[in-house]
Structure 1
Amino acid sequence: MKKGLLGSSALIGATVLMAGVASAAEAPTWKLTGNANFQFYYVDQDSTSETVQEHGWYFGVDESELQLNVSGTADNGLNYGFKIEIQTNTTDNTVADEVRLQLSGTWGTVQMGDEDGAEDIMNYGGENLMGATGGFDGDYDDALAYTWYPTMAGDTSDHTKVSYFSPRFSGFQVGASLTPQPGLDGDDFKEDGDWENAIGLGANYDNSFGDLRIRASAVYATVSSTNTGTEDKAAWSVGGIVGWGPASLGANYTDNGDSGVDVGDDENSSYWNVAGSFETGPMYFSVGYMSALYEEDADYEFEYTHIALTADYTVAPGLSVYAEYNIQEVSETGGWSHDASLFIAGANISF
C-alpha cells in the first residue's frame, strides 16, 4: 500500500531557532483521523495442487483503523509528537499497528518506536502509483487459495526501531534505521531470535520543475543471522517515478541475492515492477505489472507474474469508491502452477 510518511505534510516541519527570542510554549495539540472500507471479491482460480474454494464471491472488511497524531513545539524550536495507529477491524489480533515518537528540527527528524524503516519509507516504485486496494501491492491475497508475493529481504516492517531522516536539500534526502531485534514489537519479551541488528539505509530525490515531477530512490537493508548455517539477509532496491501533469510512470527493481538461505546453497531471488497512472478530476486510473523470480541451483525456478488494473472515484470529501482487476500466475519447474483472476470493488469512508 502507499506510504507517504516523508511528504512535506507528513513529517513534522522544522522550526528555525531564533536566538534571544522567548515565548511561552503551548500545550501539544491532537488530531484524530480514521477510515473503514467494505469490499466485494470475485475470484476464479485454478491450481494443480492447492484446494480451490468452490464459492467464488465474498464480502469483506479489509481495513478499519483510527490514527491519533499529537504534536507540539518547545520554546527552543524543537518539534515533538507521537502517532498511534489503532486497528479496529473485527479480525485484528492486536490493537495498535504502529506507535512511535518523533522529534524534529532544522537538523532533521528522529522517529522512535514501531514504525516502518528507511528501507521502506524512502523507496519509490510502481507500487506508489497503484490505486484501489493497491493492485499487485494490495488486497488480492484475501481471497486466494494460494498466495505468494515478493518482498524485500531485510525489510523490518513496523518492528521497534530508531530512524533518522535528514532535511531535504535541493530535493535530496538520506535516512537510516536500526532495529536490534527485527521480530519484536512494543514490550515483547526481549529474547534472542533468529535475526538481529537490522540496518536500513536510504537516499532519495523528489523535486518538481513546473508540471514535471521527478522522484528517484536507492535503499539497502541488511540483517545478521544468529544461525551460522544461515546466510545473512542483504538486499538492495532502486526505483523512480516521473510525473507530468496528471500522468505518472514508475518502476522498481529489488535484488534479494541469497538472503536467508542455507550456507552453501546456490539460491537467489529478485523482482521488478512497472506502473502508470492518470488522474482527471475525481477519477484516478492505474495499470501495473510485477514479475518475480526465485532460482535454486541451475535446474529449478519459481516464477511469479501479476497484472493489475485499478480505478478510483471520489464521490465526496471522505467518500470514495474503487475497483480493480488482478491476473496472477505462479509456476515452478516440474509443472506445478496456480493461476488466478480476481475482481475487487469497494467503498471507503475516511475523516
Structure 2
Amino acid sequence: MKKVLLASSALVAGAAFSAPAMAADGEIVWSAFTQFHVSSTGVDGDSAGVGGDTNKGVDFNTNSEVALTYTATADNGLTYGLHLQLEADQNTSNNSDENHIFLEGDFGRVELGDQDSAADRLMVSGSSVGFQFGMLGNYTGSVLYNTGYTGSGAGARTAADLNDSSDNTKITYFTPTFNGFKAGVSFAPDSDNGNTASGSSAGTDNHIDGGINYSGSFNDFSIDAGLVASTEEQSATGSDDNTYYGVGGGLKVGYAGFSAAVGYIHEDLEDTAEVDTVDAGIAYATGPWSASLGAAWSQRDNDGGTDIDFTAYSAGVGYEIAPGLNTWVAGTVGEYEGFAEDFTNVQAGVSVSF
C-alpha cells in the first residue's frame, strides 16, 4: 500500500521561492522499505585482495530507502514530475539512489537526471524471474569480492547484465508503446552523478545505450523479450582510452504461476578482453508462497592473459506474511576462478514496505 497525498497549488508554491501556475493539483506518492538480512558466506580463495571470507562467517545488514514521486498534468496535456529515491541506511556514502525529472506525452517519455539507463530497464534475463534475493546477481551479503570489471584483475560477470550507466546523470528517451513494443536510448557524457562536475580524465565518457522491448499476453501465456546494446569510452590516468561494446538479449515466458527466463550478453573491451555470459531462471508463485531456481555462467577471455570462468547455482523460497511484510531464505553455490574459487552462501531476511 502506498500513501497518496494531493498537493495543492499553495503547498507547491510554499516549497519554492516561485512556481509556475498548474492546470490541476498534482499528486505526491510516498513509498518506503526496510530489509533486514542475515547471511553466511564461505570461499576457498582466502586472500583479502581477491576473495576471502567476505562475511567473516555471519553478517547482519539492512537495506532501506524512501521514495517520493510527484506527478502533474499541464493544460496542454503534458505530464511532468520528479522522482526522488533516498538511501535511509546508517553510514551510507550515497544519500540519494535516484533523482530525476520526467516529461511524458504523445511523443513518449523523457527523463533528465540520475536514473537507470534504457538498456538496463529494457533488458530481459534470467534475473528477471524469482523473488527478491533468490536469483544470481543480487548478493545482499556480498557473496563475491570483485576488484572491478574493467580494471586490473577484473573478473567475469555474475549475471547477464552489460555495462549500463547505472545512476549516472543522463538523458533518457522512451518511445510510446506500440502493439507491445517500446524502444529507448540513454546518453551520459561521463560517470559523474548529482551535482558533481567532471574534472578528471579517468573514468567513463560518452556512454550510449539503448534497446527494444516487447511485452504481451496470449490467452494464459505472457511473453517479454528484449534486445539491448551499449558503448562507452573507458580511460585511466596515464593510459589510452578503450572502447567498450556490448550486445545482449533475453526472453521470459509465464503461464499459470510459472515463469522462466534466459539472457545472454557478449562484451568486447578493446585490446583487453571479451566476455560471454548466460543466465537462466525458473520461478513459481502461488498465494503467499514463491520459489525460484537460477544459474549463471560467464567466461572472460583476457587478451594475452589468463581466462576467468564463473559458474553458480541458486535456489530460494519466499513467503508473504501479510501485506507489505515478506520473508525469504536462499542459497547459492558456485566457482569463481581466480577470485573466490569455490564458494557457498546462505541468506535469509525479512522486509517491510508500503
Bin for the TM-score computed over the shorter chain: 0.7 to 0.9
Aligned residue among 198, 203, 226 for 1:217? 226
SS in 2 for 1:32: strand
Aligned residue among 198, 201, 218 for 2:207? 198
Aligned residue among 35, 44, 59 for 1:46? 44
Cα distance between partner residues in 2 of 1:53 and 1:239: 31
Q: How does 1:1-351 map onto structure 2 within 5 Å?
A: 25-47=23-45, 49-50=47-48, 51-52=52-53, 55-61=56-62, 63-142=63-142, 144=144, 150=157, 152-181=161-190, 183-194=191-202, 195-225=204-234, 229-257=240-268, 259=269, 261=270, 263=271, 265=272, 267-297=273-303, 300-332=306-338, 338-351=341-354
Amino acid at match of 2:350: A
Task: Give how far 1:42 is off.
Answer: 2.2
Cα distance between partner residues in 2 of 1:157 and 1:53: 24
Task: Give how far 1:135 is off.
Answer: 2.3
Task: Give how far 1:299 is off.
Answer: 7.0
Assess, with a 3 A threshold, how the Cα gap between structure 1 residues 295 and 282 changes in structure 2: closer, same or farther: same
CA contact (8 A) 1:153 1:234 kept: no
Task: Give how far 1:146 is off.
Answer: 6.2
Cα distance between partner residues in 2 of 1:199 and 1:245: 38
Cα distance between partner residues in 2 of 1:321 and 1:48: 31
Amino acid at match of 1:207: G
Assess, with a 3 A threshold, how the Cα gap between structure 1 residues 56 and 288 changes in structure 2: closer, same or farther: same
CA contact (8 A) 1:132 1:310 kept: no
CA contact (8 A) 1:276 1:288 kept: yes
Give TM-score scaled by structure 1 length: 0.85
Give TM-score scaled by structure 2 length: 0.84
Cα distance between partner residues in 2 of 1:200 and 1:100: 18
Cα distance between partner residues in 1 of 2:27 and 2:340: 54
Who is 2:10 aligned against? none
Assess, with a 3 A threshold, how the Cα gap between structure 1 residues 72 and 144 changes in structure 2: closer, same or farther: same
Task: Give how far 1:190 is off.
Answer: 2.7
SS in 2 for 1:42: strand
Cα distance between partner residues in 2 of 1:274 and 1:55: 30
CA contact (8 A) 2:259 2:283 kept: yes
Who is 1:5 aligned against? none
Cα distance between partner residues in 2 of 1:39 and 1:54: 12
Q: How big is each residue's C-alpha offset from its partner over 1:289-327, in whole Å with a ceiling of 9 and x where there is no partner? A: 011101124773200111111111111111000111011
CA contact (8 A) 1:127 1:134 kept: no
CA contact (8 A) 1:159 1:179 kept: yes
CA contact (8 A) 1:274 1:289 kept: yes
Cα distance between partner residues in 2 of 1:320 and 1:54: 24
SS in 1 for 2:136: helix
SS in 2 for 1:47: coil
Of all paired residues, the percent bearing the same amino acid is 26
Assess, with a 3 A threshold, how the Cα gap between structure 1 residues 173 and 54 changes in structure 2: closer, same or farther: closer
SS in 2 for 1:136: coil
Amino acid at match of 2:342: D
Cα distance between partner residues in 1 of 2:341 and 2:36: 27
How big is the alpha-carbon RMSD for the aligned residues of Structure 1 and Structure 2? 2.2
Cα distance between partner residues in 1 of 2:287 and 2:348: 20
